[in-house]
Amino acid sequence: MPREADPSNNEREFVLSALRENVRLDGRAFDQFRDVDLAFGEEYGAADVRIGKTRVMVKISAEVVTPYADRKFDGIFTISTELSPIASPAFEVGRQDQTEILLSRLLEKTIRRSGALDTESLCIIAGQKCFHIRADVHVLDYDGNIADASCLALVAALMHFRRPDVEVHGEDVTVFGLREREPIKLQMQHQPFCITTSYFDGGEVMLHDASLLEEQCREGEVIISINRFGEVCQISKYGGPPIDGLSILTCTNMALEKAKMLDKVVKAKLEEDEKKRDKGGLMAELRADNEREQG
Amino acid sequence: MAPYTNIPLSPAELSYLHTSLAQDPPIRPDGRSPTQFRPLVAETDILPSANGSARICFADGTEAVVGVKAEVERTGRKGGLVRGKEDGEVEGEERGEDGWLDVSIEIPGTRDDDALPVFLAAMLTEALLADGELKGRLVIGRVWHWRLFVDILLLSQPLSYPLPLLSLTTHLALLSTRLPALISQKDEDPLFNDDWEASTHLFPRQPTTNEPETKPPITLLVMTVGTNILFDPSSDEIAVADAIVAISATEDSKDGGLKMVALRTVDPPSRLTSAGVPTQANTTAGGGLSAEETLKLREKDAGATVWRPPRGGVSRTVLGRMIKKVVEKGGVGEEVLEGLRGVKS
Amino acid sequence: MADTAILLPGEEVLSESLPKSKKGTLTLGPGLRHIPPSTILSTTSGTLHVDHKKAALWIEHAHGRYLPAVGDLVIAQIHHSSAEAYACSLTPNTPFALLGQLAFEGANKKTRPQLKAGDLVYARIVKASKWEDTEIECYNSSTGKAEGMGPLSGGMAFDVSPAFARRLMMGTDKNGKQKGEVVVLEEVGEKVRFEVAVGRNGKVWVDSGSVKETVVIGRLLKEADESGLDVEAQRKAIKKALKEVGK
Amino acid sequence: MPLDSSTYALAHLRVDGRRWKELRRIHGQMSTQAAADGSSYFEMGNTKIICTVLGPRQPTKSGGRDQSREAIIEVEIGVAGFSGMDRKKRSRNDKRTQEMQYTISSAFASTVFTSQYPHSTITIVLHVLSQDGALLAACINAATLALIDAGVPMQDYIAACTTGSTASYASNDEDADPLLDLNGMEELELPFLTMGTSGGEDKVNVLVMETRIQMPRLEAMVSVGLDGCKQVRNILDGIVREHGKKLLSSR
Amino acid sequence: MAMLADRRRMNAPPGGTSPPVFASLPEAKLTKPIRTRNPDEHRKIFLRTGVVPSASGSAYYEISPSNTPRQTLVPSSSSLKITCTVHGPRPLPRNAAFSSNLLLTTHVKFAPFATRQRRGYVRDSSERDLGVHLETALRGVVIGDRWPKSGCEVVITVLEGEEDGWWADAEEGGKAGSWGMMNVLAGCITVASAAIADAGVDCVDLVSGGVAALTAERNGEGVLDPCPSEHDIKAACVVGYLQSRDEVTEMWMKGDAGSGSEALIDNAVKAAVLTRTVLAEAVKEATEMKIGKTSEAAVETTNTGKGKTKDIQMTG
């Protein structure tokens, strides 16, 4: 079983003593993120996020399926995560390891359980037809903090995605191609972001956006998912050495700030992308079509 | 198959055990008589969320919990094509289906699809289904039926062959199983009485004595050494068994005695033990024989002086005696059932 | 002196670029393959380097994993220890190299250094063969002297590319010019005192006694490596960085 | 079955008649199984857990030399098919179960003196016989008791409970009360978190929340949780002392 | 069981497809097949060894369907076709623990098309259960201590499986009781025994499988080799029988036999004795062929013919 190589004792001690002197190896402040870069693909629903060297790509797709028998009025939304050897030699194909399970649970809790995506809006005919929105999360490069990066990429991709328009006449459903009708945005109820706080020395030192080396040296982490309105969607502190109850509340406050920052990044990039698309000849053409139809 | 493929006993120990168990009467390591069971602690109705439940703790520390849950299910259209049987026509009594009983076993350290749990589940299932009485009781009407889930958990590591433990626990759990009373008509959408007091036992009881009229079957593990037949073998004893047979027996409604409803041979782990080396062939003890001579010596010895894993099967006469010991009047089966009667929730 | 011709795997080395040697023998370095009678093919992509004096040629390339070669100085990390030797990792996910328990200066059974898993040592490769475990040692076995090798305590190890590590170790030519065109260590060394050990396996260990200075040196090295800074750019970056730490 | 919050507002009584800061009945037993190195049975209301601890022992998984300098804590959780309202078989690869296993394992890894047992494994096996809320908390408490029974040295032990809030996430209800120790029905309706603390002080080892909630609610929930964990800890203390007395008197 | 989901193949939709229902003449009444053999008569068995040249040992076993006249396209009774290959004895893998005995493992798998209901590619619990039964039957026969540190794999593919009842029967589509499994097991025992002999693994005896049943029609009278579609079986028994030692290595009995259990076992043994004649004949013939072949091969290398077929008519 390949594993991420453990850092040497020298590195471990140095990282810790540096942190005690308020120094991070890459010169960032404790609560500072590495450069966050978000790019959208040609197609709808492809988002590529880079935080420092960490890189995550999310692609959303939609298909029409039968809803689950026990949830007739809901569409289906699934998130699948994949940590492949592309990201790090420590990941194996096809084998679910701890990191992957935790990551997928985290996204599940942050996005699905918190109801970020309105699944009822995906229903086409109750009990018969609905959209299945599938998000594939691929970690392409691994240098720490994949939770925050994956969540950011997932939220951005969901906001960017457009599903095909449908028309229902009784039992008949017509699904329109992207060229036939302007595709429709997904209904998002809120946009939660994952913020991981790594702690050292029993909570004396708190870091945001830890690099891989810092992650390997940390004592534990608190992962908080929060949206810009200050609604906490999920907190995970899986074991690790204990910290004060109060510091968790501090973490939450700091996470809110970061979530607002990430929210802005996503909004700005989406706007940029929309402008770019607006100019395109294809879109203009489509709009003309639609107007004629309505008229 | 066996949960313990490496038996921590040397050929000398195996040989000793085998000889003492082959004595007449056999000398068992814990001084029990051949038909005596080890003491056990049992309780029933331990879980409020299950329709029936039981827990048994054997003296060696092995422990099992069984929970029985019943769920209402719509009876699928039967696949009959012939006999002019159309919908609506009912032909006598409704009969239950095998698929309505679902037995699953969880044993720590094994996967759900390992041979051991699969084998044990199949063994317990076929004993329960053998006389068709139990599945008949699951019928609610033509449209609805109960589906019975029997979840068997072995809580400890499988120290000895867990079959008797699991079977006895299942027996107690089923005896304590109660189904809510039906208030709706037979073929309507079923509606049940919320009152737990009004519920009926899956195995109906006599109103006066509160004794069950019929009982679920029990499965006993019987092993042979030489001509001796031993019940409830411990893990050490199993290590030298010539043959092991699991016999399921239930009360015969006709004459009140016991009848056998299922039987399976179990692969004895003794077949995987290492053979001893005769002194003449032991090079360190001064005996220097060629490989060929050693082989000859071993074949001639045939387990007389040193331990040799058993070969072949069990002879038919011994098999017949084993069955008889379980089901005969005043036999071990009745004794066990009598012992379990004393268990109160 | 360095020929900048870029070769791809399978490409033939032209006979005019072969060095003339008096004895008529050539020494082939990494990345080259000889097919008798006189064809020389490259096996990796990179630039061809020729040393006419020694009649040697080899291919330099920036990426790929470090392959142990006898005589290389490396920084190894102890993984676990057995009765005779420490198993050390040179690069992650590769077979361990063996470091004898007594392969240290002045070590005998009583005085040998006690190393824990995760400790770093500066060592030289003494055996590198396809069929056997790689062996390293922390002293020169012929002289018994440490020659700067041994356990590394404190400080920080930075990961750089193996090619950059090689450039760091090229030394200076007659004019005092850096052959590897990396001036970070020298230029910083004029202002800041620090200890350094460069391992061919892509690790640089730095210890200046001060966390901030060590971090700066590490960052400069990584920047020079990853962004491929030339000498001028390096000087500029060094000046800026040193200002930050107040030197 | 929606929780009738209006009743709560009137009488300040919960569905099962408790007040906001009341725990359910907690019952625990130690040394319940002779075959294991340590074992316990733990009830929190109708949530019932059996826990056995094996080890510290040699790693059972063969292959690959284990050079770890500390003991590895393995956790196996088996959720019985009959434990819930409906019969449901949860596979062992279920991600939620695996997440719980990881949480318990890493929580105890920092409390148990694992460095005293290099190259060994401590296996905690948890069987969930019946669930009615506070599953993770009950598992942690059961594991604590079983580890104490097994005589594994620990710095301290972890006591856990859940807290919730009467306000659902949407309503910005100013006078929402925090609730202690939610039962299964309340868990379906209300936001809640599971918390595990060690030591008498407010040191949080585990904190897991899966539901959406307004940030201001959190503070109250955390402080009630800290207090609840202290109560649970006292009860656990009592169980351990009781068991110790029994052991001594039987000598 | 979700865990057993087959993820290596593109599978058919989970809902499945309904089995074909063949149109039959409206006046054609489907009739349950009736046993035409005597109660103590076995169906014809075809057995041949050495069918897979690359395996250490192999055998093929077939029971032809009974010839009942029918008016529909669907055969009213099923037949049994089993192949078995034996690999080994061969050394255990390096990471396996030491074993002083031959480690025999069995692997029983139905071909996806073997039964009326399609079988998946992953072994289900009934197939695993059969594997355990077969293992028990064979472990007692092979002399394991002759082959320390070795493993031997017995791989069985059931090409056509006996049905559990009459397919058109009202009850569960003829699946009640899963009696067909018992015939399959008896066949597996016999064919594996032949294949093991073909592989040259030391055995104490040839083990042959036999099935007997108590049926409702005959009022408690037992039948040998029951074809489930022809009977209404009350109880059945399979044995793996060693004739020369008069021993049973494997026995599987289920159902409500009442007091007739002893007679049932006796009948199963009788069936096993019948099967044994075919088994012995097939093994003997194969051995003769091998001996003959080696002497022939010395003279003429082009002759690569395999064993002849053998059909034996049997009566009790």
Answer yes or no: is B252 within a domain: yes
Predicted confidence band of residue E220 (pLDDT cuts 50, 70, 90): low
Mean pLDDT to the nearest integer, A145-150 = 94
Chain E hits for D93, CB-CB cut-off 8 Å, are: 3
Q: How far is D67 from chain C (nearest CA, A)?
A: 7
Task: Report yes or no: C69 at the D interface, CB cutoff 8 Å.
Answer: no
Chain D hits for A78, CB-CB cut-off 8 Å, are: none
pLDDT at A148: 94
Residue C22 has pLDDT above 80, yes or no: no
Answer yes or no: is E3 within a domain: no
Beta bridge partners of E235: E214, E255
Q: Which domains does chain C have, with CATH numbers?
A: 6-60 (2.40.50), 73-153 (2.40.50.140), 158-244 (3.30.1370.10)
Q: What is the average pLDDT score of chain E?
A: 79
Answer yes or no: is E134 within a domain: yes
Residue A134 has pLDDT above 50, yes or no: yes
Mean pLDDT to the nearest integer, A131-155 = 93
pLDDT at D25: 92
pLDDT at B79: 47
Answer yes or no: is B321 within a domain: yes
Residue B100, SS3? helix
B229: domain range?
Answer: 11-74+97-185+215-274+309-341
Residue E2 has pLDDT above 70, yes or no: no
Mark yes or no for CB contact A105/D223 under 8 Å: no
Mean pLDDT to the nearest integer, B110-127 = 83
Distance CA B34, CA B234 (A): 12
Mark yes or no for CB contact E253/B98 under 8 Å: no
Q: Which residue has the higher pLDDT, E32 or A180?
A: A180
Q: Model confidence over E22-65: pLDDT tens digits?
A: 565 566 666 677 777 888 888 889 999 989 989 999 999 998 87
Give me the number of domains chain A comprises.
1
The gap between the terminal CA atoms of chain B, to the nearest Å, is: 34
pLDDT at D197: 92
Residue B55 has pLDDT above 50, yes or no: yes
Cis peptide before B180 (omega within 30 of 0): no
Predicted confidence band of residue A152 (pLDDT cuts 50, 70, 90): very high
Please tell me which of the candidates E2, E95, E97 has its beta carbon nearest to residue D91: E2
Please tell me which of the candidates E128, E176, E254 has its beta carbon nearest to residue B126: E254
pLDDT at A37: 93
Q: Model confidence over B135-171: pLDDT tens digits?
A: 888 888 778 888 899 999 998 877 778 888 999 999 9
Q: Per CATH, which fold does D11-250 belong to?
A: Ribosomal Protein S5; domain 2 (3.30.230)
Answer yes or no: is B191 within a domain: no
Closest-CA residue of D relative to A101 is: D95
Residue E290, SS3? helix
* For chain D, percent of residues with pLDDT exceeding 90: 46
pLDDT at D42: 95
Distance CA D119, CA D114 (A): 10
Q: What is the CATH number of the domain that holds B318?
A: 3.30.230.70
Please name the helix (run of DSSP H) or strand (run of DSSP E) that holds residue D211, with its range, or none: none
E115: domain range?
Answer: 37-67+74-296
Predicted confidence band of residue E4 (pLDDT cuts 50, 70, 90): very low
Distance CA E182, CA E164 (A): 9
Answer yes or no: is B81 within a domain: no
Mark yes or no for CB contact D82/B50 under 8 Å: yes
Q: How many CA atoms lie within 13 A of E17 on its CB side?
A: 8
Residue to substitute from A1, A6, A9, A141, interface C, most C β-carbons within 10 A: A9
Chain B hits for E136, CB-CB cut-off 8 Å, are: 1, 265-267
Q: Which amino acid is at E222?
A: G
Give me the number of domains chain E comprises.
1
Closest CA to D29 of B43, A240, B175: B43
Closest-CA residue of D relative to C81 is: D67
Answer yes or no: is B326 within a domain: yes
Q: Model confidence over E66-109: pLDDT tens digits?
A: 665 655 666 666 789 999 999 989 998 887 777 888 889 999 99
C and E interact (at least 3 Cβ pairs within 8 A): no
The beta-strand segments (E) located in E38-98 are 45-49, 57-63, 80-91
Mean pLDDT to the nearest integer, C35-58 = 83
CA dihedral A262, A266, A269, A273 (to 10 degrees): 170
Distance CA A165, CA C57 (A): 65
Distance CA E49, CA E37 (A): 27
Answer yes or no: is B292 within a domain: no
Please tell me which of the candidates D84, D85, D127 has its beta carbon nearest to residue B155: D127
- Beta-carbon contacts of residue E206 (< 8 Å; ≥ 6 apart): E141, E193, E197, E242, E243, E276, E279, E280, E283
Closest CA to E165 of E154, E150, E153, E175: E175
Answer yes or no: is E17 within a domain: no
Distance CA A42, CA A59 (A): 11
Distance CA A256, CA A240 (A): 23
pLDDT at C2: 44
Answer yes or no: is A3 within a domain: no
Neighbours of chain B (3+ CB pairs under 8 A): D, E
Answer yes or no: is B206 within a domain: no
Answer yes or no: is E12 within a domain: no
Cis peptide before A192 (omega within 30 of 0): no
Q: Model confidence over E234-293: pLDDT tens digits?
A: 889 999 999 998 999 999 998 887 778 888 999 999 999 999 999 999 999 988 888 886
Interior angle at CA C41, CA C35 and CA C46, nearest 5? 155
Mark yes or no for CB contact E136/B266 under 8 Å: yes
Neighbours of chain D (3+ CB pairs under 8 A): A, B, C, E
Q: Let me know: does B201 contact B212? Beta carbons within 8 Å.
A: yes
Distance CA A107, CA A152 (A): 10
| Torsional class of A69: left (φ above 0), alpha (ψ -120 to 50), beta (otherwise) | alpha
Answer yes or no: is B42 within a domain: yes
Closest CA to C234 of C245, C219, C247, C214: C219
Predicted confidence band of residue E316 (pLDDT cuts 50, 70, 90): very low
Mean pLDDT to the nearest integer, A49-54 = 94
Residue C224 has pLDDT above 50, yes or no: yes
Mark yes or no for CB contact D208/A245 under 8 Å: no
Please name the helix (run of DSSP H) or strand (run of DSSP E) that holds residue D67, with its range, or none: none
Distance CA A286, CA A290 (A): 6
Enumerate residue ranges in chain D where pLDDT < 70: 1-10, 60-68, 167-175, 200
Q: How far is C144 from chain A (nearest CA, A)?
A: 26
Q: What does DSSP assign to residue E62?
A: E
Q: What is the pTM of this model?
A: 0.85
Q: Let me know: does B259 contact B327? Beta carbons within 8 Å.
A: yes
Give me the number of domains chain B comprises.
1
Length of chain D: 251
A198: domain range?
Answer: 9-294
Residue to substitute from C77, C78, C79, C80, interface D, most D β-carbons within 10 A: C80
Measure CA E287 to chain center.
Answer: 22
Residue E300 has pLDDT above 90, yes or no: no
Highest mean pLDDT of the ranges B1-5, B119-123, E80-84: E80-84
Other beta carbons within 10 angstroms of residue A265's beta carbon come to 18
pLDDT at E24: 58
Q: How far is D26 from chain B (nearest CA, A)?
A: 16
